[in-house]
Amino acid sequence: MCGLSGFSTKEIVKEKFTILRNMNDKLSHRGPDGEGYYHHDDVSLSHKRLAIIDLNSRSDQPFQDINKNYSISLLRVSK
């Protein structure tokens, strides 16, 4: 199953990427097939990918629209 991590803060943090990478590294067991990162203003997201059904790179996350105005990262939760 894929993994998702992230944080949001209005404080000035010089090492946002380092913090996010460390968080994402803790999720290595959730997906060895890829990873993605997104930063904008107060929001930072990361994603670990486990490619079981869709092996195409078009499914790498976080997703962005063509103009890169919107980003989203999805995590499927099973019951």
Beta strands in 9-79, from DSSP E residues, in sequence order: 34-40, 43-49, 63-64, 71-72
Q: Name residue, tokens 């078009």.
A: 58
- Whole-angstrom distance, CA of residue 10 vs CA of residue 28: 28
- Whole-angstrom distance, CA of residue 54 vs CA of residue 68: 23
Instruction: Say yes or no to pLDDT of 73 above 70.
Output: no
1 or 8, which is more confident: 8
- Whole-angstrom distance, CA of residue 34 vs CA of residue 24: 11
Residue 37: the pLDDT is 86
